[in-house]
Amino acid sequence: MYTERQKKVDRGATKVYKFMSLCIIPLFVCLFQFGRIVGHFRVFAVWCGKNNNLGYILSGIRFYKMSGTGNDFILIDNMDGSLKTNINELAANICRRRFSVGADGLIVLEPSDKADFRWRFHNSDGGEAEMCGNGSRCAARFAHKLGIAGPKLSFETMAGIIEAEVFESGEVKIRLTKPFDLRRNLNIDVSEGAGVVTHINTGVPHTVELVADIDSVDVEKRGADIRYHQIFKPAGTNANFAQVIDERNILVRTYERGVEGETLACGTGMVASAMVAALEGKVSSPVTVKTRGGDTLTVYFDRDGESFTNVYLQGEAAFVYQGEVMENV
């Protein structure tokens, strides 16, 4: 029997349904649309607002943080040209540790008519560099993940066209440009003592000193002395210290130009160190290089006397997180 109590319950349910239909649901729809409008406004504000002092809110600029065996980078997709700012200043600010995102460098991807994309690489001091081995591996995996390029790709750098292959494992193998400016047996005298070094450019200038005990080297002090040594002026050099373990394995520590300190890894420095060790007859390709951070990279090359060709660097390029810059950096 349909009782009076059941009738009251049904009438109450009907009123609740009408209230939801007329008030609550439209309210949620309005809030959703408002959120979309605000989001578009924020992106528009980023596109419009800029000045020479970076005095604008960078809200809406997405970035990824990546690590190439301990070398950490901030990566931004600017294939649509929406990033309207001085990238030198942006790099110096956004790479500041403790005050901003923090990284060894900033990588910005832009369109290219010569390759899948063009990159702009800036060290943490804001200065633009020709090349970065670990940064290249991160850029390649980043471009592949975002659909900018396939697993086999190429991109334009100040050092030339870099070819890369991205593997499902997360490792990336890059082919570097042909090394040049080889200068062997350079005698240097710095505050930490005299030494014999070799200089070679693997996309950026590197100086390598082979040492017996890598842990005994004051990389910050000796590295800085070599980096600013007069024989490498005006461009300066990166300073690498390499210890040979056996014919296939070496340890490397690097003082990086532009970072102005020791980093946990330096891809082009690992390549330079492996080649210098090969010149001294201590290793042969492929060479496994253990970084200060404890990870390993593999260096491949063909050698004919003092000439190197088919130079490759392979190792992991890892995504750490993605985010959005929300305020002045």
Nearest to 140 by CA among 324, 313, 325, 260: 313
pLDDT band at 20 (very low <50, low <70, confident <90, very high): low
Residues 6+ apart with CB under 8 A from 91: 105, 106, 122, 123, 124, 126
Which string of b and e fits 218-232 if b means at least 16 CB within 10 Å?
A: ebeebbbbbbebeeb
Domain 61-175+319-325 CATH superfamily: Diaminopimelate Epimerase; Chain A, domain 1 (3.10.310.10)
How deeply is 7 buried, as exposed, middle or buried, from its count of CB atoms within 10 A (0-12, 13-18, 19+)?
exposed
CB 302 within 8 A of CB 295: no
Give the architecture-level CATH label for domain 180-314: Roll (3.10)
The encoded tokens of residue 289 equal 């290089």
- Positions marked active-site: 132, 266
Cα R_g (the chain), whole angstroms: 26
How do residues 185-208 score in pLDDT, each as one tens digit? 999 999 888 999 999 999 999 999
pLDDT digit string, tens, across residues 22-69: 655 565 555 555 555 444 444 443 344 434 444 434 456 899 999 999
pTM: 0.79
